[in-house]
């Protein structure tokens, strides 16, 4: 993988990790559904402006189908993740979600014939190990472990998003249109549910708007840099690097929320660095 692809994958992890942290904070204040809906709409608006400027050629049916499917998978992932972050410990939820989200696409890409060198394979192993190890030592009480089904659903949704976006971009080489269509379908799901149920108000205090803008734009940045990293190398490596976002979330939770960061989390951060070094070798 080209060095620029590795850098893009790391930036994706930093961006997604920041979005998840901000999304968890916002979810605890205004609710996970309101946070997810407003953040998706903000991301869609930003993408629409970018796509208009990029003026890419019209997509074909296959690209549209994969992009919309990716957005639906992303909607499931975001809804499940933000709910889990709202009721569980961030330093536990994010790594478990990341492990499932990274592991499934890596297995799928290898099953479809993708190959990497021995050092890169070792780096992938270290990175996947880092995601899992970061979750060890977090609170294991009932309040934390009851979010496991939500974390698993979020991970599977992200895994589907990775694979579907890879297929969408491989059809035509577009960047902005697949992202726009994916975000449009995800935002539509949340808006329709909000209108249909009327159980959750989307009116939030003005003081939370900057936080929601951060959630939406950082989530968009994670997706964008993942796609750029994927275009620079292989799906398995791009997915693993981007999926290191739980390390970012755990560190932010430790720095800002004072959540306990024990020896396993430090070991996980070390494994992440080792994995990046091996992938770059």
Within 10 angstroms of residue 156's Cβ, the number of other Cβ atoms is 18
pLDDT tens figures, 47-68 = 999 999 988 888 889 999 999 9
Closest-CA residue to 252 (of 215, 198, 200): 215
Tens of pLDDT along 117-163? 888 888 888 888 887 776 665 544 444 566 778 888 999 999 999 99
Give, in order, the Cα–Cα distances in Å from 196 to each of 131, 163, 191.
Answer: 37, 30, 9
pLDDT at 271: 83
pLDDT cut 70: percent of the chain above it:
92
Torsion of CA 228, 234, 239, 245, to 10 degrees: -60
Mean pLDDT across the chain: 85
Q: Mean pLDDT: which of 64-68, 85-89, 194-198 is highest? A: 64-68
Q: Which two tokens stand for residue 281?
A: 């070798």
pTM recorded for the entire structure: 0.85
Contact predicate 29/257, CB 8 Å: no
Model confidence at 208: pLDDT above 80 = yes
* Structure confidence at residue 140 (pLDDT): 47
Average pLDDT of the residues in 173-186: 91
Of the two residues 258 and 42, the one the predictor is more confident about is: 42
Within 8 A by CB and 6+ apart from 23, the residues are 35, 36, 39, 78, 81, 82, 85, 215, 219
Q: How confident is the model over 232-237, as a mean pLDDT? A: 84
């Amino acid at each position: 993988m080209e060095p620029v692809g590795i850098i893009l994958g790391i930036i994706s992890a930093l961006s997604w990790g920041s979005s998840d942290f901000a999304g968890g904070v916002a979810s605890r204040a205004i609710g996970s559904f309101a946070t997810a809906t407003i953040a998706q709409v903000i991301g869609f608006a930003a993408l629409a402006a970018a796509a208009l400027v990029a003026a890419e050629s019209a997509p074909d049916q296959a690209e549209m189908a994969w992009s919309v499917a990716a957005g639906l998978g992303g909607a499931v992932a975001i809804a499940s993740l933000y709910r889990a972050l709202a009721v569980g410990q961030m330093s536990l939820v994010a790594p478990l979600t990341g492990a499932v989200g990274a592991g499934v696409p890596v297995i799928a890409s290898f099953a479809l014939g993708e190959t990497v060198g021995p050092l890169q394979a070792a780096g992938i192993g270290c990175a996947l190990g880092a995601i899992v190890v970061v979750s060890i030592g977090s609170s294991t009480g009932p309040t934390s472990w009851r979010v496991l089904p939500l974390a698993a659903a979020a991970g599977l949704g992200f895994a589907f998003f990775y694979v579907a976006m890879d297929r969408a971009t491989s059809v035509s080489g577009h960047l902005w249109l697949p992202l726009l269509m994916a975000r449009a379908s995800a935002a539509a799901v949340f808006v329709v549910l909000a209108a249909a149920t009327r159980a959750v108000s989307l009116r939030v205090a003005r003081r939370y708007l900057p936080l929601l803008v951060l959630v939406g734009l950082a989530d968009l940045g994670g997706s964008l840099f993942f796609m750029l990293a994927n275009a620079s190398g292989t799906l398995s490596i791009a997915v693993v690097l981007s999926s290191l976002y739980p390390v970012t979330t755990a560190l932010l939770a430790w720095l800002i929320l004072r959540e306990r960061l024990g020896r396993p989390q430090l070991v996980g951060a070390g494994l992440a660095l080792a994995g990046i070094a091996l992938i770059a070798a």
